[in-house]
């Protein structure tokens, strides 16, 4: 049922909806992507699509937020992480630097919080672009 949240990925034929709509009206495509995101909130492709449509309307900050959400959901989603999104890559580099600084400032003798563990994992695997 489309009104309920569903696990997994949105079917390709459903993703074709906002793509086709956006061919004539980017904002209507964004609205349709939002509707699909409410049903499949964990699908990185939908967030990337929304971000791309927002960028087409020169709504770059909102587009970056949507694309960043896609990367948070699926860090290995290369097109969202790397291809054609240098501003997001710059921001990811800044985030990595901030994570490393937060870890350096933490008390080395205290047990690590789950947030610190996440930051350590993130900062050790990522490199600046």
The 3-state DSSP composition of the chain as helix, strand, coil percent (nearest 5) reads 70, 0, 30
Residues 7 and 50 in one domain: yes
Residues 56 and 118 in one domain: no
Domain carrying residue 12: 1-84
pLDDT per residue rounded down to tens, the chain (129 residues): 445 666 689 998 888 888 888 778 888 989 999 999 999 999 999 999 998 888 888 888 888 889 889 988 988 888 787 754 555 555 556 666 666 666 667 666 665 555 555 555 555 554 443
Q: How many helices (H) and strands (E) does the chain have?
A: 7, 0
Round to whole Å and give the CA distance between 6 and 37.
10
* CATH code for position 8: 1.25.40.10
Give 37's DSSP letter. Answer: H
- 23, containing H or E segment: none
Structure tokens at 101: 């600084």
- Number of domains present in the structure of the chain: 2
Whether the model clears a pTM of 0.75, i.e. scores above it, the answer is no
Residues 65 and 11 in one domain: yes
Dihedral sign from CA coordinates of 62, 63, 66, 72: negative
Residues 45 and 91 in one domain: no
């Amino acid at each position: 049922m489309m009104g309920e949240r569903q696990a997994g990925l949105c079917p390709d034929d459903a993703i074709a909806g906002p793509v086709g709509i956006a061919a004539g009206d980017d904002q209507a495509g964004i609205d349709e992507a939002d509707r699909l995101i409410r049903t499949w909130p964990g699908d990185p492709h939908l967030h990337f699509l929304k971000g791309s449509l927002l960028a087409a309307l020169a709504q770059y900050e909102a587009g970056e937020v949507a694309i960043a959400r896609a990367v948070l959901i699926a860090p290995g989603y290369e097109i969202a992480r790397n291809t054609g999104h240098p501003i997001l890559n710059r921001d990811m580099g800044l985030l990595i630097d901030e994570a490393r600084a937060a870890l350096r400032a933490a008390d080395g003798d205290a047990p690590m919080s789950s947030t610190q563990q996440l930051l350590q994992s993130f900062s050790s695997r990522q490199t600046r672009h």
